[in-house]
Amino acid sequence: MKIETPELKRPLLAMALGFGLAAGVPLAASAQSMEEAFAAADANADGSLDVAEYQAYIEALAGSGDAAAMEIMEAGSYSDAFTAADADQSGSVSAAELGMS
């Protein structure tokens, strides 16, 4: 089963990474702030995030109060989170893989 809904995908991804968030707990980042953080982190404007860009994305979301992003940042688990988000194992994370259209 593939989860397409951002409201479901993000909390489930956080749970899968072991960050202890309960299913269905809303995260602070809105879809708009996620898209803005993605665009700002995508330094080469290729529409996807490499590992360094993904770290900048997580840090931007954490700065806006996103609970899952703060957990990733505090744990220093950028690599694990990147690997989990990179569903197609392409070595980059697209907006679609993060639940954005």
Q: What is the pLDDT of residue 25?
A: 38
Q: What is the pLDDT of residue 48?
A: 97
pLDDT tens track for 35-81? 999 999 999 999 999 999 999 999 999 998 888 899 999 999 999 99
Give which of 80, 97, 79 is closest to 88, Cα–Cα.
Answer: 97
Query: Is a pLDDT exceeding 60 seen at residue 97?
Result: yes
User: Cβ neighbours of residue 72 under 8 Å, at least 6 residues apart?
Assistant: 17, 19, 58, 62, 78, 81
Position 10 confidence tier, pLDDT thresholds 50, 70, 90: low
Average the pLDDT over 82-96 and give the result.
95
Residue 32 contacts residue 17 (beta carbons within 8 Å): no
Tokens of 39: 């665009």
Q: In degrees, to the nearest 5, what angle opens at C-alpha 30 toward C-alphas 50 and 96?
A: 40
